[in-house]
Structure 1
Amino acid sequence: MSTTEQHENPGRRTVLRAAVAGSVAAAATGAVAAVPAQAAEVSGGRRFDTDSPRFTLAVLPDTQYLFDADSTDPAPLRETFRYLVADRSEANIAFMTHLGDVTEHGTEDEIRRAAQTFRTLHGKVPYSVLAGNHDIASSTDDQRGDSAYLREFGPGRYASMPTFKGASPDGYNSYHVVRAAGRDWLVLALDWRISDKGTVWAQGVLDAHPTLPAVLTTHDLAFADGEGSARLSGNGQRLWDGLIRGNDQIFLALGGHYWPPGRTVLRNDADNDVHIHITNYQDRYYGGAGMIRTYGFDVVRGVIDVETFAPWFLSRDPARRTPLEAETVELTGAADRFSLSIDFDDRFRGFSPVVPPKPRPASAVMPRGTVAYWRFDASGMTTAPDGGPVADGSVVRDLSGHGNDLTVGRLHSSGPEALTWSPDHHPGQPAHASLRFDGGKGPDRGAVLRTGRRAPLNSEKFLRGYTIETFVRLPEPFEGDHSWMGILSWEGRNGDAGKTTGWSPLEPTCSLNLSPERFLQFVVYPHRQDADPTSWSHAVPVGRWMHVAVVNDGRRTVVYVDGSKIARNPTAPSTGIATLGKPFVLGATQFDGEFGQGFYGWIGDTRIVDRPLRTRDFLTPFD
């Protein structure tokens, strides 16, 4: 899988939402007892959401010039920590990781002052810290033994954090399991010079958590040129060869130590991308002023949005910022603000494949008031091989038991390819099957599924409201002229129902269609009002499944796409549907009693309920 990168200039994003909690790790890795994961947690009075698909990882690089003998000034770092605490809920900040060189000389006094400053954050946002060469004797590795750093930033500091799962026996390497976006993520915090023993320990952590995507943090990883293009340092090459390249879980590796910042992408042994980033601003005004970098994960969009800014300067009145403060408050160059495009499911497939949900039985998705429910697996019809034609006269049973069975028929002289069976389906669809319609204009090709002459649905008025749901996928590429093709409808002319307000008295009383711009159009002639309130969506996508729901509460109609209410829903009163006793149809819309073209794409499970449903009660629930 190839990931791509792009530089953006999005302005000040609202940083996202996330959370932490963990799962119990193997005792062999030195795990501490875990706190059970939950959908929302409160830490220091700040809520964060472990199930939101958007969360933030905050990264804090070299702060050494803020703790430099008698030049110490912890104020910028305290403000950074206040920002993270205050913004945790809105930004959904899951975790903060420090990249080493907390202090300049690693003296007892510097380390103690730094540790005291971390009290602003402690217990409110979980975090990790690792040793840089300025925090310890730089000629040593993680087998150095006791130090002022270890006494303040060793395993004892993290023991109360639910994310902390263990440390190496020497105490200089640790790992956390962070709960965010509905899954666990591994954060490895490795010493500035990890020993062979430390590498064995880190490999053991990865082996004990084989399905967790991992972020590796260390102090010395890579360096960059003036254009932001990075390459591995000597120590980084050692980490790459000894740990990173052979563990596909590690998709992001972060280091400090060098400036300027930069990044590169390397391919690991599984032929997947690993993003290598340098983050360090100690050369900037005021030693970087506690500047942080935020990694805003969005697993729905498949993107990580990266920003760099200084909360200490951000907190000041813009009119009172000095020129250097104004220059440093936010960095917007290509090395400091950018987006990574990552298909997370595909990138993690090799070690944590997505397990598709099992089909749900019809009985599990027929709430009170279900009038009709059709699905195209063996529970609803006689299936065919993938791509095999569904013959005219085939019946799709109404699983609600109300007798609204659908019968297949082709339009005009359409051939077998006009309607075929497919195992393709929306990931959240109860049945794992669909029908592929190959309709189009001229020569009026397509297929339809229609209720029988005496089906109760033909005359149902829905005076208490209704919910009509279906799953739809448009082909990619979307070829040909398919403007105004119908997805579902009731036959008959609205003029025959006494309606006078519409575009034409010859269009049906209720239909869901697609405009030339690929906007969904739901037009209904209510039973009670002489009106034709019409909803319009945005341009819907091609090449992927979507869920469409039309919900009427007896007063007005609202259309949802993928659980999101569209903008153009009319407020005009709308009570019921002016049905005429004519068939309900999947796959086309009539005009003046005739089908001019058929639907082009896939249609999955379709359900009609005689009352309004909440989004969480849809065929695929949306909370």
Structure 2
Amino acid sequence: MTPRILLLGLFGILINACTPKAEEEITFVLLPDTQTYAEKYPDILDAQINWIEQEAANIAMVIQQGDLTQNNNEEEWQLVRNAFRRLDDKVPYVLAVGNHDMGSEPGKFADVRNTTLFNTFFPVAHMAKLPAFGGIFEEGRLDNAYYLLETGDYKWLVLSLEFGPRESVLVWANDVVADHPDRLVILNTHSYMYSDSTRQGHGDYWRPQGYGIGKDTATHAVNDGEQIWQKLVKKHPNIRFVFSGHVLNSGVGTLVSINEAGFPVYQFLANFQEGVTGTVNGGNGWLRILKVNPKENNLFITTYSPYVNAYREEEAHQFQIRYPYLKTGY
């Protein structure tokens, strides 16, 4: 593959097929929308978890982007829980709630903000005992939670927010980030980026406002990607990454924006579920690997499937960001 440079403001993305050196890297594994595996292809989710277990010593954290299940029923939740429990005390992991993980009954997606099954199969009492757990927004509910992680000289805060986070949730999230000014912040939420590499907003498909919960008002009013940027992300100098899934079409998008303090924010959409253009077997086990290389001052993003044991080499799926500004003190 011929290297290609894309200029985004003052920061460049170098598209390259190279693989970074292993030493001094910080590795995050992003595991988007597992819903079709839970419904139809449990062996693919099993392959992903097997690989994570084998690589656990080299992985700082696994971050899942929501839609853990397709139909929000007990059978699928049992399967997903059994899979992730294998990671307990081996590698920290973060889960997000997607629109398919909430509803008044199985098969009704986000008509109401009911996440009873998610919190039954992943109870706070259990999750709070695992590495990196920091705190939650509502007692007994994992829908909105934060995690604290340290990797060498880097201190991280990973903030996982519900699908279409409510106004009250964004108020809480602002407070959590402000209380940890010495930490680099990763925001993880199901719906944020769109497939045209912009933040999801008016005119886009699959906005939270288009579901039943979109009718809620006042402190319960939902927010899409652009609103999350305006009300939360851009206001804090230390929020540097946003990860999301949910959106179909190509299922991918990349955006670098500059926050109010003048620092870059790296925003990524990755989704491989059934319905994404060209997807087979509900995603074929593709996951994202983000490597932070402090020594070489680079970020490397690759897309790998333990199920087929292959990497995707298209520019949208394998690239490097040169000279990211990742200071930990402000």
TM-score after normalising by structure 2: 0.82
Choose the corresponding residue for 1:131, options 82, 85, 97: 97
1:267 aligns with 2:258: yes
Q: Name the structure 2 match of 1:617.
A: none
Work out whether 1:201 is the aligned partner of 2:178. Answer: no
- TM superposition shift of 1:2: 3.4
Residue in 1 that maps onto 2:307: 312
Deviation at 1:162, TM superposition (A): 2.3
Distance between the aligned counterparts of 1:55 and 1:333, measured in 2? 23
The structure-2 alpha-carbon separation of the partners of 1:107 and 1:15, relative to structure 1 and needing over 3 Å to count, comes to farther
Change (3 A) 1:16 1:55: farther
Q: Percent identity?
A: 25
Deviation by residue 1:205-235 (Cα, 9 ceiling, x = unmatched): 112211101111111011123xxxx011121
Contact kept? 2:300, 2:320, Cα under 8 Å: yes
Decide whether the 8 Å contact of 1:251 with 1:274 is kept in 2. Answer: yes
CA distance in 1, matches of 2:296, 2:111: 43
- Residue 176 (1) aligns with residue 147 (2): yes
Counterpart code for 2:94: S
The alpha carbon displacement at 1:183 in A equals 2.5
* Partner of residue 219, structure 1: 190
Structure 1 counterpart of 2:13, from 5, 22, 31: 5
Task: Using the TM superposition, give the Cα deviation of residue 242 of structure 1 relative to its aligned residue in structure 2, in angstroms.
Answer: 0.9
Q: Pick closer, same or farther for the CA change 1:334–1:157 going to 2, 3 Å.
A: farther
Amino acid aligned to 2:80: A
Deviations 1:585-618 (A, max 9, x none): xxxxxxxxxxxxxxxxxxxxxxxxxxxxxxxxxx
Residue identity matched to 2:231? G
Q: Which residue number in structure 1 is paired with residue 51 of structure 2?
A: 83
The code of the aligned residue for 1:285 comes to V
In the other structure, the counterpart of 2:218 is none
Looking at structure 1, the residues matched to 129 and 284 of structure 2 have their Cα atoms a distance apart, in angstroms, of 28
* TM-aligned CA deviation for residue 145 of structure 1: 5.0
Secondary structure in structure 2 of the residue aligned to 1:67: helix
Are 2:59 and 1:93 equivalent residues in the alignment?
yes
Q: Which has the higher contact order (CA 8 A, sep 6+)?
A: 2
Q: Does 1:339 find its partner at 2:305?
A: no
Q: Which amino acid is 2:304 matched to?
A: F
Offset of residue 15 of structure 1: 7.3
Of Structure 1 and Structure 2, the greater helix share is in: 2
Task: Name which of structure 1's ranges 1-10 and 118-127 shifts more when overlaid on structure 2.
Answer: 1-10
Give unpaired runs (5+ residues) of structure 2: 1-8, 104-108, 202-223
Native 8 Å contact 1:78 1:118 kept in 2: no
Give me the CA root mean square deviation.
Answer: 1.9
The superposition leaves residues 300-319 of structure 1 with CA deviations (integer Å, 9 ceiling, x where unpaired) of 211111110110111xxxxx
Contact 1:74 1:117 in 2 (8 A): no
1:279 aligned residue (267, 270, 277): 270
1:16–1:147 distance in 2 versus 1, CA, 3 Å: farther
Asked if the contact 2:101–2:115 (Cα under 8 Å) also holds between the matched residues in 1, the reply is no
Whole-Å separation in 1 of the counterparts to 2:86 and 2:21: 21
- Structure 1 residues 140, 176: CA separation in 2 closer, same or farther (over 3 Å shift)? farther
Letter in 1 for 2:159: L
Residues 42-441 of structure 1 correspond to what in structure 2 (within 5 A)? 53-68=24-39, 71=40, 73-89=41-57, 92-137=58-103, 138-139=109-110, 144=113, 146-169=115-138, 171=141, 172-225=143-196, 230-234=197-201, 235-259=224-248, 260=250, 261-282=252-273, 283=276, 284-314=279-309, 329-344=310-325, 347-348=326-327, 352-353=329-330
Instruction: Give 5+ residue unaligned stretches, structure 1.
Output: 18-52, 315-328, 354-623
